[in-house]
Amino acid sequence: MADGRSVRELLATARSRLAAAGVDSPDVDARLLLAAAAEVDPSRLLIMNVVDSAGVHRFETMLRRRESREPLQHITGIAYFRHVRLQVGPGVFVPRPETELMTGWAIDRLAEVERSGRVPVAVDLCTGSGAIARALADEAPAAELHAVELSEAAASWAARNLAGTGVELRVGDMADAYRDLDGTVDVVVCNPPYIPLTAWESVQTEARDHDPELALFSGDDGLDAVRALTGVAARLLRAGGWVACEHAELQAESVPELFARHGGFTEVRDHRDLSDRPRFTTARRTA
């Protein structure tokens, strides 16, 4: 054991340290950090007994960073979203599992269009790392896909993640995005910033200190971006097309109300995530 330490010992110590540091998922984080440090797939840890000294040193460095509440994905450089693996780091919002259900909903709508005999068209607004667009490309490969991101720093990460997928990526404000596609889009999907500026202190440390503010905050009530989205979606969508918009748990009434009040949508509905929390609103463009 002089040349290394046991996997079991390393994981036990890491779990204890991460829990003490206030990390929400110490078991998962310990396993993913150790796999990254040992340079193996996480599943390989199950059959490993010892991590060599170089891996132990890398693990200790990574563990200290996570104890300081630096996001796990910034440390490993990897985020997993549905069935795809993404590159992430400083300057881009780290995709969350909560967004996967909305993405699946969008994939189902694209499949319906494809079954009707048309090539489906989708636009991912506020794409960030490109997570949603990349998942759409992976699970709806026949679709014509477009994405837009305002931040040049985030767009550089999206460009890496969308390379070779056929997704068209543009840098710019969603308010003016893809005017050349007006009235032709089947699905608009968006995970906009939606945190009220007044809620800054309540935001999880990892997000508040490391995610870009542009991806988090949206006016005093958190709804500025959603207000803009209602108009953009109405402009882009063909009659009968769908829009999906993620929101905060406390916006389960206010976001659907914005779409209903716009007047250009029907079938406005709110959806819950896998934790049974209100998570995203969908609406259909009127004929």
How is the chain split into domains, by residue range?
Answer: 4-68, 92-285
Q: Reduce the DSSP state of residue 260 to 3 states and report it.
A: helix
Please give the annotated binding residues for S-adenosyl-L-methionine, written as ranges. Answer: 149, 191
Cα–Cα distances (Å) from 224 to 75, 121, 196, 279, in that order, read 32, 26, 9, 17
Find residue 86's DSSP bridge partners: 79
Please give the annotated binding residues for substrate, written as ranges. Answer: 191-194
For domain 92-285, say whether CATH 3.40.309.10 is its number. Answer: no
What pTM did the predictor assign? Answer: 0.89
Is the separation of the CB atoms in 133 and 110 below 8 Å? Answer: no
Please give the annotated binding residues, written as ranges. Answer: 149, 191-194
State the DSSP string of 24-73: S-HHHHHHHHHHHHHTS-GGGGGG--EEEHHHHHHHHHHHHHHHTT--HH
Question: pLDDT digit of tens for each residue in the chain (287 aa)?
Answer: 346 789 999 999 999 999 999 998 999 999 999 999 999 988 888 888 899 999 999 999 999 999 999 999 999 999 999 999 999 999 998 999 999 999 999 999 999 999 999 999 999 999 999 999 999 999 999 999 999 999 999 999 999 999 999 999 999 999 999 999 999 999 999 999 877 777 666 667 776 777 777 787 777 888 999 999 999 999 999 999 999 999 989 999 999 999 999 999 999 999 999 889 999 999 999 97
Element (H or E) spanning 272, and its range? Answer: strand 265-272
